[in-house]
Structure 1
């Protein structure tokens, strides 16, 4: 009897130790995830249940899609040593102006125009990346110059005018939904329900495989109970989101695009050599260089990638706005930077994840959406968001000093 009780006590003790260890090693990310859940619950109560109405959930994704995309790229820049890109808003506006010129004014095929705009983003990234990585002008200065240059070029190209409307096929990139292949079989969009189940199964398989490999190779890993709890939470959240989609119009096209980007960049950062170079450089650039890492190339890549993702974000935003305007992209860079820092990226570099940046973007998005539903003025919204950003970075500094 005593042996059974002792075994039970050990299991409970190991479980608590596993939870503490997991939380401690990912303190910023888990803290903001908890904060996100708390914020959602608070606004769900304050808005009398409007926040989590299926239509509003879909609109939350659509409205913040550009922030998700920019935050992914900004995370890679921050990882290299706390570097940021101040030009992304102006680059988005410039690419939007190109889209308006190509599609609205010149009546160009939308797919050809999109390819040209992505190439333009690549060229912009090469231009800025060269000065930052090889001439070693501080990223702050180069991207500040880029912010002014591309805003000026946008105004010059549009001549102060707004170009619209875009073709309906272009608008569907950010406002369209995946058709239900089981249309008429149910009041719900069954395609969305099945997609949620498939994604859950794939996630369970990948997590179980990862945990098994860690145990086999004797790497540090979570306890079985912690892993099961984590999987259960993710699976419930995933299927809940897809259920909301199923009750509305289905899966938004832009949600699929963002989902693919999150998966690809998470895999790149965590499972490839080049991705680990970003963390190594941010942790200690001199040590990374001495170990044989070409830090100039790593820095160059991060800014080229940022510009290309800025072009993608511009396509998503312009499609939703249905217009190319000179003032487009204002404060986009601040939204992306705030999302990264709130989501767990360190202001000193070397720490941060793509998933964390998405959590940070969701925190900002829920705050914006919830306060808008409540009728809070834009001045107060800016004050609250600024306070949240300050507290997130202060938490990073405090947790570093404690360690």
Structure 2
């Protein structure tokens, strides 16, 4: 046998494979740490919300976390969270909608005419008002999708048109004293179903079901990934996350149960988040929205009907703006000419703070909700400590600027333009 045929041998008992010195074994601790840091980065917006809550809980001596205040946070910011759901979808597709505040005011005024002046049954007034909001979306969607006018211009015009129409409908006066069932949309609570208790058992039961559902879903997802040989997060970190999330949900549910129970606004939001989460993550329409925002020309070449998608996006936005207007009107028990002022800025801020990209193609429903909650906690916390409205506006503007700057920084770091 020649020297060329001779192969190097590994000494007996040496478990190091050839090339082992070149590719040393992976350190488990380093791998876990890398995974945890990556996970924290992906959930940065949630951590930001947690830090804001902790900060204001400390400087307000715990007032922020009182049961009544937690319930009020949901009720007072419900309309913004509804708008944020629709706005993030519009932004993902590469558009913007400046008219949502005026549309909310207009629909609120129209609902006042229906429910108070014409004394229609409350549910008919609500259905007709939502239909009018959808028709507003049809109007704006037509100009954007089929005429080709940029959404910025169309919705800017819509902001003026529907603000003017709201004033026409109201006649520069207020419409108030809505039916009790109508008011429940913004001020109602689901409680005392099993009787009058200091801690509402229905709310606690729903919270327990929610926690069990979350744990089961997370465990099934982990087992499914392991079954197909996919990478999973370290088990201690998996358990720690579940414990923290369960504790957070438990505290939130207990606070609601200790006050008045589950706000009707929260039920509406939960249904919207569930439905639109499925639409954006598991439907063809949702995938088309992301594709259009990522690269409109490529989406057209792949056969996506971009005009149709744009059209229905704004129909949906009109519907959600109408719903937000109804919630706001119901909460105040009043349809007034100043309703809706600044709603569009709050909704846009919630979407961008929640991780939506300025260029489109990036964003989530959950992120927009968390962004809206950050704005709500900022508003509430600064009001509790007595900070003036001028400083509140400045702080919210700074937070928005930093959120968008962070998005731009990430794009540049990853090689985007």
With normalisation by structure 2, the TM-score equals: 0.90
Q: Whole-Å Cα distance in 2 between the matches of residues 138 and 209 of structure 1?
A: 45
Alignment of 1:238 with 2:249, yes or no, is yes
Say which of 87, 112, 118 aligns to 2:130. 118
- 1:326 and 1:218, CA in 2 relative to 1: closer, same or farther beyond 3 A? farther
2:163 is matched with 151
Q: Secondary structure at the match of 1:51?
A: helix
1:133 is matched with 145
2:33 is matched with 16
2:364 is matched with 353
1:55 is matched with 68
Give the drift of 1:217.
5.0
Say which of 80, 88, 91 aligns to 2:103. 91
Alignment of 1:175 with 2:187, yes or no, is yes
Q: Whole-Å Cα distance in 1 between the matches of residues 82 and 92 of structure 2?
A: 16
2:47 is matched with 34
Structure 1: unaligned runs, 5 residues or longer? none
Q: Is the 8 A contact 1:69 1:309 kept in 2?
A: yes
2:384 is matched with 373
2:85 is matched with 72
- 1:42 and 1:142, CA in 2 relative to 1: closer, same or farther beyond 3 A? same
Q: Is the 8 A contact 1:18 1:226 kept in 2?
A: no
Give the drift of 1:208.
2.8
Q: Whole-Å Cα distance in 2 between the matches of residues 209 and 299 of structure 1?
A: 36
More deviation in 35-44 or 385-394? 35-44
Per-residue CA deviations over 1:355-383 (Å, capped at 9, x if unaligned) read: 10111111100110011111111111001
Structure 2: unaligned runs, 5 residues or longer? 1-14, 16-24
Say which of 358, 364, 383 aligns to 2:394. 383
**How many residue pairs were aligned?**
391
More deviation in 323-332 or 292-301? 292-301
1:220-369 aligned within 5 A? 222-369=233-380
- Output the aligned Cα RMSD: 1.8
- 1:126 and 1:217, CA in 2 relative to 1: closer, same or farther beyond 3 A? farther
More deviation in 338-347 or 211-220? 211-220
- 1:226 and 1:126, CA in 2 relative to 1: closer, same or farther beyond 3 A? farther
More deviation in 228-237 or 156-165? 228-237
Q: Is the 8 A contact 2:32 2:233 kept in 1?
A: no
Q: Is the 8 A contact 1:15 1:225 kept in 2?
A: no
- 1:232 and 1:270, CA in 2 relative to 1: closer, same or farther beyond 3 A? farther
Q: Whole-Å Cα distance in 2 between the matches of residues 58 and 124 of structure 1?
A: 32
Q: Is the 8 A contact 1:93 1:314 kept in 2?
A: yes
Q: Whole-Å Cα distance in 2 between the matches of residues 326 and 257 of structure 1?
A: 25
Q: Is the 8 A contact 1:88 1:147 kept in 2?
A: yes
Q: Whole-Å Cα distance in 1 between the matches of residues 343 and 32 of structure 2?
A: 42
- 1:45 and 1:22, CA in 2 relative to 1: closer, same or farther beyond 3 A? closer
Give the drift of 1:220.
6.4
Q: Whole-Å Cα distance in 2 between the matches of residues 378 and 44 of structure 1?
A: 20
More deviation in 300-309 or 85-94? 300-309
1:103 is matched with 115
Give the drift of 1:314.
0.8
